[in-house]
Amino acid sequence: MSLSNMDRAIWRWLAAGGSIFSLLGIAQADAQAPAKHPALDPSQVVRAFAAAHDSGSAAGMALAFDTAATVTIADVGLLKHGWKEVRAYLDSLAEPARLYGARFVVDSIKEQHLGPDYALVIASIRDVLKPDEWPGVLTVVLHRTDHGWRVISLHKSTVATEE
C-alpha cells in the first residue's frame, strides 16, 4: 500500500494527540496544547477514516483497517469481504470525494470497549453530496493490534430522504 506524504502526516498528527477538528481547520472553544497519545483510540480511528474519505484518500482510509484480519465492509447493500475486496472498494469510495466533493459527516459517536482488545463504535452520520444529504448509522468493530486500533468490520446504512 502506497501512502502519500499527506496520508502519513494526517496519521502522525492524530497519533500525536492532534485534534481532528484542528486538522480540518475547525476552531475549538477551549484550545489547549494537544495531549500526547501513543495511538488513536477507536473513535479517533473512525473520525480519521472520515477525514481521509473527505480528502479523497483511499490509502488514508486503508490505514484504519487491519489488513491481517478477515475484514468486511457492508455499505448500503454491498458486502465486501477480505482485504483485497475491501481495499478495492476504498478506492471507489475516494473517487466521489475527489471528483464531486462528497463528504462523510460524523454527527455523534459512541464507543464501547468489548474487553481489552476489541471495541465497538456506533456513529450517527450523514453522506453529503450537495444539495443532497442521506442520514445514517455507522457501526464499526475494531481490534487492538501492535499498530494500534484497526477496523475489522465496518457497516454503513443510510436512508433515502423524501423529495
Q: Is the pTM of this model over 0.75?
A: no
For a pLDDT cut of 70, what percent of the chain falls above it? 74
For the chain, strand residue ranges (E) read 72-75, 78-81, 103-113, 118-129, 132-145, 148-158
CA distances (Å), origin 32, targets 36, 53, 89 = 12, 27, 38
What count of other Cβ atoms lies within 10 Å of the Cβ of residue 163? 4
At 131 the three-state DSSP class reads coil
At 46 the three-state DSSP class reads helix
Q: What is the pLDDT of residues 42-96, one digit of tens each?
A: 999 999 999 998 888 999 999 999 987 689 999 878 999 999 999 999 988 888 8
pLDDT at 5: 54
What count of other Cβ atoms lies within 10 Å of the Cβ of residue 137? 13
